Amino acid sequence: MRTKRAVAPKRRTRAVPASAVRRPRPAAARGARPAAAAPPSPPAFAAQRAHATSREELLFEMARARAAVKAAIQGLAVANAARPIARGKWTPLEIVLHLGERDRVRLEEFHRTLHGQPRSWAGISDAEQAVVNEQHLAPLRALSWDSAVRRMDSLREQLLLRLHDVPALPDDVWQRGHAFADMLWALPEHDRHHAEQIKQARIGEPVLTED
């Protein structure tokens, strides 16, 4: 007769509380140096401006600003082009006509400012400029939307052709403070201002009130 062998009882494993588990400390806690902050991003188009002459920078800014205008009016319906951007303000059609006129008057004053004479509207008040703007717009309001856009594009092309004929040197005529440069450097900001107005009107945001 076989005798039964005694079976040793199983040893119970006591659970280790989670708080007792040793976890590796982060690098900062072990005395490691924190990662250096990323350097700030360079200004937009910094590489293009780095070695540009005053003439090249002006032409570059004019091209960028006019691209903003073209983007703002791209695909704009004729009905919307004839609708004021805000109460008492111009329509996109009138803005486009105005942009063309500001290039036209610069073509007229090109020679005199190039020779150091200040532009005719230098120093006039906003009220006086508003009267001049209205005199320029009055005979043009009958133009269609397409004709107004073509006129704006044509006048800018004429202005650029004249600018390309002006040599880069002497450089002072292209720098702010010279009558010629001061007349031209106002154009990029002027284009961006009106492009933003049209853009805001298209998406239903409050429109900048200045003309």
Question: What digits encode the pLDDT tens for the residues 55-98?
Answer: 999 999 999 999 999 999 999 999 999 999 999 999 999 999 99
**Whole-number percent of the chain with pLDDT over 90:** 68
Is residue 164 one of the residues assigned to a domain? yes
Is residue 211 one of the residues assigned to a domain? no
Range of the domain at 192: 51-203
Tell which wins on pLDDT, 41 or 198. 198
For position 166, which CATH number holds?
Answer: 1.20.120.450
Q: How confident is the model at residue 206 (pLDDT cuts 50, 70, 90)?
A: confident
What SS3 state is found at 23? coil
For residue 148, what are its two tokens?
A: 């107004």
Question: How many domains, in total, are found in the chain?
Answer: 1
Is residue 28 one of the residues assigned to a domain? no
Is residue 26 one of the residues assigned to a domain? no
Question: What digits encode the pLDDT tens for the residues 143-168?
Answer: 999 999 999 999 999 999 999 999 88
Residue 49 has pLDDT above 70, yes or no: no
Name 178's bridge partners: 176
Q: How confident is the model at residue 209 (pLDDT cuts 50, 70, 90)?
A: low
Is residue 152 one of the residues assigned to a domain? yes
Is residue 210 one of the residues assigned to a domain? no
Is residue 163 one of the residues assigned to a domain? yes
Is residue 174 one of the residues assigned to a domain? yes
Residues 6+ apart with CB under 8 A from 211: 89, 90, 130, 133
What SS3 state is found at 176? strand
Q: Where does residue 96 rank: exposed (0-12), middle (13-18), buried (19+ CB within 10 A)?
A: buried
C-alpha 166/C-alpha 181 separation (Å) is 12
Residue 120 has pLDDT above 80, yes or no: yes
pTM of the model: 0.76
